[in-house]
Chains A and B, each alone.
Chain A
Amino acid sequence: MVSYENKAILEERGIKESDVEEVIASGTKIKNGASDVLSKKRIGDVTYYAMANGDVVKTAYSHKMSVGAVVNVQSDSDWVCLKCNEAAKEGTADVEYMGVSRSGPAIVCPKCGDAWVEEYLATKTVAVAEGLFEAKRA
C-alpha cells in the first residue's frame, strides 16, 4: 500500500494510481543516494515511472517514446541499478516513436543495458520532441 506526496500531479499528467502501483510492484528499478527508488515499466504504448521513498510516492511521470538499447555510457550518475547492483551512468539510449528511431539522454546500466529517462527530460524535452514528431509525421 502506497501513499502519495503529491496526488494532484497524477491527475495533471493523466496517470492512474493503478498504473503507479503496477510500476512499483513489477517495474525495473534504480536507487539514488537519498534512497529514492525510481521504478519504470512499459504499459501499453506508454512508459510509466514512479519515484518513491519507502512507501511514499514522490512523483510519477510518463513518456510515449519507447527506450531501446544503450548507445553509449558517459559520466557518473547518482543512481544504482537494483537488478545488477551496479552504478548506473548518464549516457545515451535509442528511443523510438511512431516508427522513427533516434537517440536520447538517459540513465543507463552498463551491465544489463536497461535505461531510464529522468523526470525533467520526460516532462519537458521528450514531451516537446514527441509533439514535434506527431506534427511532422502527420
Chain B
Amino acid sequence: MQLIAFRVFNHRHYGTKLRGNNDKDYIGSLKFENTGITMGYEELFPPANMAWSGHAAKRFGSPFVDVFTDRIDVDPIILSHAAVATGYTIRDFYEKPELGIHCVSYISEMYDLLPVTHWFFSLPWVTELGLTLEYKETLPPISTGPIISEPEEVDKLEVASMSDLRKGWTYPMYKRIYDYVGANLAQTLVPISYGFDLVGAPGELCGVENLIMWTFTDPDVVDKLIDVYVDTSVNGAKCMAEDFGFAMLIVGSVLANNDIFDDASVEKFSAKKMRDYVNKSFRGGAGPQLFYHFCGNHETSYKVFKDNLVWSPLTVTHIGYSGQNVFPSDVLRQEFENVTTCMGSVDTKLMINPNPVKVYEQSKEQLLKGRDSKKGYILGSSCECPPYTIPGCMHAMVKAAQDYGTYGTW
C-alpha cells in the first residue's frame, strides 16, 4: 500500500489519500485470510495486568516527584520490536498502528519496562507538506518524494494549519491511535505529539544532501524550511492538546549531530528551533511533559542545548552517542541534572549481540554514573532498540536496573 500526498503551493488546497486494495481490513482489526474471521486488535491480547500497570506507573512517576519505588525505570525505546516479539512484522507495526501500540503495551509488561505506550516514526507531518510515504517490509515508512530541488521553491511552501492537519494523514492517525489506547489501554494513556527531528524531517522535504549543502550556500532557505516544518508540528501539538487536554511533546536533534554539523550549526538549526517548537506548543496548550531525544553523535554539541531549550517541570533528556561510544551518563548528569531527568544510553548494537553480559555490564556502568542525578534517571538505549533485539539482552538491561538501579546509595 502506498500513501500518496499532493503538494500544491500558493494557497491552493492539498490533501492526502491512502491508495490500496484492503484499507478497510486493517483499520482497527485483523482479518484472518484462511477463515474470513475479523478480530479487533484488542481481542488478540490477554487483559493487561493491572497490578503491574499500577506499580509501573508509580515507578515511571518516581523520578519526577521524588517518590522512589523499587528501582530505576528502563525504556529501551521499543517500536517495531514489540510487533516482532508478538509474532507480527515490522511492516505490521507501522501499517497497523493500533496493533503496533497494543504490542508496545503488551511487551512493556512482559519485560517490566516503562509503561507509557508510544508509537511513532521519524516523519510525522511530512505528507501534509507534500511528501509521499511508502510502507516497507523491514523499515518504517520511507519518503519517495517529490522533493523540493531548488531553494526558490521553499518560499512557496506553506505551513499546514490545524484544520489542514485534521483533514490530512498524520493527525487523524494519531487521534485514532490514542482513541484506541483510551478505549483499550487507558491505564497507559499519555497523548504524545511528535515534533521529532526538526532538521531531519525538513531534510526529507528537500533531500538530505540539498539541506546540508544549503546550510552553507542558502542558510536562510534552510531556516525557512525548518520554520515551516516547526510551525506545522506545533499545529499538530495544538490539535492533540485541544482533543486530549494536554500533549506530551517529543522532539529531537537527530540529523543535526556532530557527524554532520559543527556545534554552531546544531545550535542554529536545531536547538533554537526546538526552543521555538516547545514555546509555541506550550502557548497552544501542549505539554507539560517534554522528551528531548538527541540521537546520533553529540560529542561536543551537547553543550549547546542547556541554555537554549525550554525546561518544564516534567522533562526527560536523552543523548545517544559521543563519537562512536554511548554518551557517558556522568557527563549527561553533570550537564543537565539541574534542569531535567536524565536518560542514559546502552548501545543499540549490543541489543542484537548474542552476549547479554555485555548489555548487563554497559547498563551497570551507565547506571552507576547516572543514578544519582538530582532529578532522577532512566536507563534507555541509544536509539530505538532494533526490531530483532534479543530478548535475553533486553532482560540483561532490566536485570542491571534491578541490581544497580537505585537512587543514591539505597
Contact = CB atoms under 8 A, between A and B. Distances in A.
Interface of A: 65, 71-72, 74-75, 92, 95, 97-100, 102-105, 120-121, 124-126, 128-129, 132-133, 136-137
B64 A103 contact: no
B288 A128 contact: yes
B314 A132 contact: yes
B288 A103 contact: no
Contacts, number: 76
B246 A92 contact: no
B73 to A, nearest CB: 13
B338 A136 contact: no
Interface in B230-280: 245-246, 275, 279
Nearest to B307: A72
B304 to A, nearest CB: 12
B165 to A, nearest CB: 20
A99 B66 contact: yes
Contact of A103 (B67, B283, B287, B315): B315
Contacts of A136: 58, 61, 64-65, 67
Contacts of B194: none
**How many residues of B sit at the interface, in one of the four size bands?**
20 to 34
Nearest to B290: A125
Given A103-B338, A124-B287, A129 B315 contact: no
B253 to A, nearest CB: 17
Given A121-B282, A133-B65, A128 B246 contact: yes
B288 A125 contact: yes
B308 interface: yes
Interface string B303-324: 0001110111111000000000
A129 B314 CA distance: 7
Contact of A125 (B61, B66, B67, B282): B282
A126 B311 CA distance: 12
Nearest to A105: B310
Given A103-B313, A124-B287, A125-B287, A72 B65 contact: no
B285 interface: yes
B91 interface: no
B339 interface: yes
Given A65-B313, A71-B311, 6 more contacts: A71-B339, A92-B311, A105-B282, A124-B282, A124-B287, A136-B64
B65 A71 contact: no
Contacts of A65: 313
Contacts of A133: 64-65, 313
A72 B61 CA distance: 25
Contacts of B67: 136-137
A129 B311 contact: no
A105 B311 contact: yes
A96 B341 CA distance: 15
B249 to A, nearest CB: 10
A128 B287 contact: yes
17 contacts: A71-B339, A72-B307, A74-B275, A102-B314, A103-B311, A104-B311, A104-B312, A105-B279, A105-B311, A124-B285, A124-B287, A125-B312, A128-B287, A128-B288, A129-B287, A132-B288, A136-B64
Given A120-B283, A121-B282, A126-B288, A137 B65 contact: yes
Contacts of B339: 71-72, 92, 103
A100 B308 CA distance: 24
Interface in B45-92: 58, 61, 64-67
A100 B311 contact: no
A100 B66 contact: yes
A104 to B, nearest CB: 5
A65 B314 CA distance: 13
Contacts of B307: 72, 74
Contacts of B311: 71, 92, 103-105
A102 B315 CA distance: 9
A32 B76 CA distance: 45
Given A99-B66, A124-B282, A137-B65, A129 B306 contact: no
Interface in B216-230: none
B340 interface: yes
